Structure 1
Amino acid sequence: MFLAIFASLVFAGIAAGQSTNATCSSSFQWAFNSLGQSPCLVAAYLGAVCDDGLFLVPGLTDDTSFYQGPTVAQANKCGCSSVFYSLLSACAECQSGKVLTWSTFDTNCTTVYPQIFDSNIPSGTAVPHWAYQNVTADDGFNVTLAQMQLEAPESTANPNPTGTTAPPGNSEPPSHKNSNAGPIAGGVVGGVVLLALVCMTAFWFIRRRRRGAAPSNLMQTPMGYHATSEITPFSSAIQTPKLYNPADPSTFPSSLSSGMYSSGRVQSPSYTGNTVTDAPRAQYSGAPEV
C-alpha cells in the first residue's frame, strides 16, 4: 500500500525557513546544484516563495511512499509549476520512492505553469536547468533526460525580478487547464433534453393507443339500443293494452266499442240482397254467452 507524504506536510511552513530532512542516495549527486544543495532543498526554496518563506520537504519513509500534489487551497503558482514538480520528483527518485505523473500531481491546479517558475528565484539557491524539462511530453519527470542537461546553465536570483523565471530560450507562458465543467454541463443539458423527448414520445404513443381503444358510440353501440338514462321522459307515457274482459267495455276493441257495443247492445249485420242492414239489437245481460 502506498504511503503518501501529504501536501499538508510538504507545504507546511516551519520556523527554520526552507529545509528538508530527506537524504539522497550518493548515486544522485548529479542532481545537486552548484551550491551542493539536493533537489529536495531546492524544492523547499521554491515552495517557500509562496508560503511566506517557510517550507519543509520531509523525507520519504520507504520505497512505497511519494510526494502528493498541492490541495485546492495550496494550488498556487509555486506548487503548480512543473519546475517545482521536477525538483520534487528528483527528490523522490534519489530516495528510491515513487513518483506521481504530472497529470496526477496537478489535479487541483486550475492554472499550471509548464517549464517556468512564475516568481523570482529566491536568493541562496540555484535551480538546475534539467528542472525546466517538458514534463507534459511523457506526463512525468524523465531522469535520463535530466542527466543529459547537466552542462546547461542554472537559474539564480534575478537582481531585477520580472515575476517569471525560465531558462534561456524557454519562454512558454502559463497554461490554463482545460476545465471539464463545460462538457459536463453540456452532457447534463443534452441528457435532460433527450429524456424530455423520450417522455414526450412515450406520452404521445400512450395517448394515441388509449384513443384507439376508447369505445365509439357510433361504431360499437347496437342500432336502436339506448341506455335507460338516454330515454327522454314524456308527459304522458304509452299505456300497456288491457286484456279483454267482457264485463269491462274499456277492454273492447275501439271499432266495436263505438259501434256494435254502443249502449250495451251488440249489432249483427243482416244481408238483404246486396244491401247490408242492421240486425235488431239484442239485449246484453253481461253474462258470457256460450
Structure 2
Amino acid sequence: MNTLRHINPGIWFVAPALTLIVLFFFLPVAAALVLSFSDFDIYALGDPDTLRWIGLDNYTHLLADPLFWVALKNTLYFVIAGGPLSVAVSLGAALLVNHRLTRFKGLFRTLLFLPVVTTLVAVAVVWRYLYHPRYGFLNYALGLIGVAPIDWLGDPDWAMPSLILMAIWKNFGFNMIILVAGLQNIPARLYEAAVLDGASNWRQFRYITLPMLAPTFLFVTVITMIGYFQLFAEPYVMTQGGPANSTLSLGLLMFQEGFRWWNMGYASAAAFVLFAIVLAATMAQLKLRR
C-alpha cells in the first residue's frame, strides 16, 4: 500500500487508455512482427503444429516478387502525385473560406468537409457513374469540346490518375480545416503592417502566410503522406487493383495475400516493409523541415 501511495496520481488517470493501447495496438503489432518470420497460413490456423519458423524468407521472397515492386511503384506514384496536389487544394480552399470578404464561412467549411465524413462506398458509386466510359459526366463534358471518350477506370494509363482525383476530392476537407486553424493563428497586425508598406497580396502570401504556416504545413504534409502510403480503400472499391495491376497498392497487396490467399506471414512482412518506407519518408521530411 505504501508503494501505491507514492505512484504519481496521473498514472491512474492514463492507465485505462494505456491498457487499451497496449492490448489493441502494441500486442497486435508485436504478433504481426512474429508472424512475419513464419509461414503462418490457413493450415497453421487450423493446426498450429504445421507452423514453421522461416526467418527472413518472407522478406527475401517479397523483395524478389515482381508484384511487390509493381505495388510499390503504384503506391509511390499515388503519394508523389496525389499528396502535393491534395495539400495544394486544401491550402487553396482554406485561403478562400478564411478570406475576410467571404460570407457564410461556416456553411462553406461544412460543405467542403462533407466528403471527408461520407462513406467511401457511397463516394465510389457516384464517381463510378462520373467515370462511366459511355454515360459518365466527364466524358460528356469532354465530348462538348470534341475530345473522344476515355475509359477512366479501364485504361491502365488513366486508372491511377482517376483514383488520385477522387482521393483528393474525398480527403482535402480534413487538411483544409487544419490549415484554416493555422491561418487564424497568424496575427492580423502582420498583414496590416505589410499593407502599409505597400506589399501586394502575393508578397503577403509568400513572406507572411507561408512562413507562419510552416508548422501546420509540416503536420498536414506528413499526415497526408502517411495516409496516402496506406492506399487501400480506393482501389479495392473502384478497380480491385486493375486493370493489369495498374492500381495495385501495397495495402491492397497485403489484403490479398493475407485475407484472400491466407498467407499471413507474407502479408505481415509486407506490412513491416511498408512501415519502414513510411518511417524513412517521415524522417526525411522532418530533416528537410529543420
TM range (shorter): under 0.3
TM-score, structure 2 as length reference: 0.23
TM-score, structure 1 as length reference: 0.23
More helix by share: 2
More strand by share: 1
**Larger Rg belongs to:** 1
